[in-house]
Amino acid sequence: MSERDAETLTQITRQEGYTSSDDLLNADLVIINTCCVRESAENKILGKIGELKKLKEKNPNLKIAISGCMVQQPGALERLQKRAPHIDIWAGTHNLHDFSALLHQAEQGGKVAEVWQEPKMPLESTPQAEKGKLQANVNIMYGCNNFCSYCIVPHVRGRERSRKPEEIIQEITDLVSSGCREVTLLGQNVNSYGKEFSPVYDFADLLHDVDQIPNLLRIRFITSHPKDLSDKLIETVAGGNKLCEHFHLPIQSGSNFILERMNRKYTREYYLSRVNKIHEILPKASLTTDIIVGFPGESEIDFEQTLEIMNMIHYSHAFTFMYSKRSGTLAAEMEDQISLDVKKRRLQRLMSVQNVKSLAWREQMIGNTYEILVEGPSRTNPERLVGRTRGNELVVFNGPSELIGSLLNIRITEAGTWTLVGDIED
């Protein structure tokens, strides 16, 4: 979602006559689009803001903008302005589409700060995804209604608002006309898309309609909340031609006690029933997840229940985190916080278990052939190409650059913890 916001800001600045540059020292404008989901991200941003102060001292004409979730937090703007008076533009999440107006004010020599507390403009006022790319992220909704006790997102992104399906389909159609072959549909909880619509039109309906767009090769989506994962949605993915058989389904904890404290609104038993339904309808579907360790009140028994889930479900990958306080959330005020040492130890154990599982998942793919969308040269070895399976597995192989953007059948020959190696089938 933050990457998509950054793309929006890039497009707006291009419309104002700016061009992208890799040369920070000679830049006329620097924008940091911020995240505040975890404390580590916020600390990195604060460090980068400090570095830019030195850059501005060397180049007084440089304009610096800070935007996004970190600025949107209650009381954050005033605190940050005092800490970083060298910043020219402050913008929240609700008024990114109005960034050009803020930029004009700053170009006239003033400093400007505008952080709306609620969205005021239509959803379609935000620029569409950048055309001409092989892959594109497309927002289908904004905001979140779930209020998990550890999460700041509803406070900085607002309540759920779904875009009209015809606008989404037109945007994707335009992207495909410009060369896009894969889209990822974005939302804090895509499974609740369209709940405010009448007559009924839900996420499964949207997936079905996007699947009909000519010349589009792949459709992905993120993120799915387990409580809203319907049989209809799973069946729609199974019946689609371009819908990738990959579900990112965050469990966060394997303990019902912790899930309740997190306000996740499902039990481990319900989560397992959803996973079983996925495998019943789509036996070869891949699953990934998010897990938080060291949540306030998490006992050793609670943690062991999370490890038990990890051993029960064959996740191809798990994004694992230590719990981090976020001011403004209920969990930050809970008294039974877990020590850093305990959180680190649990995280290492969890990662060790998942690393073994991830390697085993990929090793069982050796000898099999998978359809790959060729994305481009490998970052670590530009002489080779990379692509992904429909299950979102990264595959490295030899081939000419002319294959970029095409679908190939690749036979897997080697497997690592995170990456597969293969050969093009004749």
Q: What is the CATH number of the domain that holds 9?
A: 3.40.50.12160
If asked whether residues 389 and 321 sit together in one domain, one would say: no
- Enter the tokens of residue 267: 């039990």
Closest to 324 (Cα-Cα) out of 312, 340, 300: 340
Q: What region, left, alpha or beta, does residue 358 occupy, with left being phi > 0 and alpha being psi -120 to 50 degrees?
A: alpha
Of residues 296, 269, 289, 153, the one with CA closest to residue 224: 289
Is there a binding annotation on residue 244? no
Q: Tell me the per-residue pLDDT of 31-50, one tens digit each, with 9 for 90 and over.
A: 999 887 766 677 788 888 88
pLDDT at 224: 94
Domain boundary among 313, 344, 363: 363
* Rounded Cα–Cα distance for residues 55 and 130 (Å): 29
Whether 412 and 370 have beta carbons less than 8 Å apart is answered as yes
Cβ atoms of 124 and 163 within 8 Å: the answer is: yes
In terms of phi and psi (left: phi > 0; alpha: psi -120 to 50; beta: otherwise), the region of 419 is beta
Note whether 203 and 109 are same-domain residues. no
Residue range(s) defining the domain that contains residue 341: 126-363
Residue 119 maps to a domain: no
> Does residue 234 share a domain with residue 87?
no
**Residues 108 and 130 reside in one and the same domain:** no
pLDDT tens figures, 118-137:
776 656 656 677 788 999 99
Tokens of 139: 């927002």
Which of 114, 139, 166 marks a domain boundary?
114
Integer Cα distance of 378 and 385 in angstroms: 5
148 carries a ligand binding annotation? yes
Rounded to 10 degrees, the C-alpha dihedral 191/195/199/205 comes to -10
The answer to whether the CB of 80 falls within 8 A of the CB of 66 is yes
Residues 106 and 143 in one domain: no
- Backbone φ and ψ of 135, nearest 5°: -125, 145
pLDDT of residue 122: 59
- Domains identified in the chain, total number: 3
Same domain for 32 and 84, yes or no, is: yes
Q: Are residues 291 and 326 both part of a single domain?
A: yes
Find tokens 């979140």 and name the residue. Answer: 144
Weakly modelled stretches of the chain, pLDDT under 70: 38-40, 120-127
- Is 36 assigned a ligand-binding role in the annotation? no
Position 400 scores a pLDDT of 95
Flag whether 120 is in a domain: no
Cis peptide before 223 (omega within 30 of 0): yes
Q: Tell whether 41 and 78 lie within a shared domain.
A: yes
Look at residue 50 in the predicted model and tell me its pLDDT: 87
> Prior bond to 199 cis, omega within 30?
yes
Give CA–CA dist 241/220, Å, rounded: 12
For the whole model, what pTM was predicted?
A: 0.88
Annotate 310-321 with DSSP letters as a single string.
Answer: HHHS--SEEEEE
> Do 172 and 194 fall within a single domain?
yes
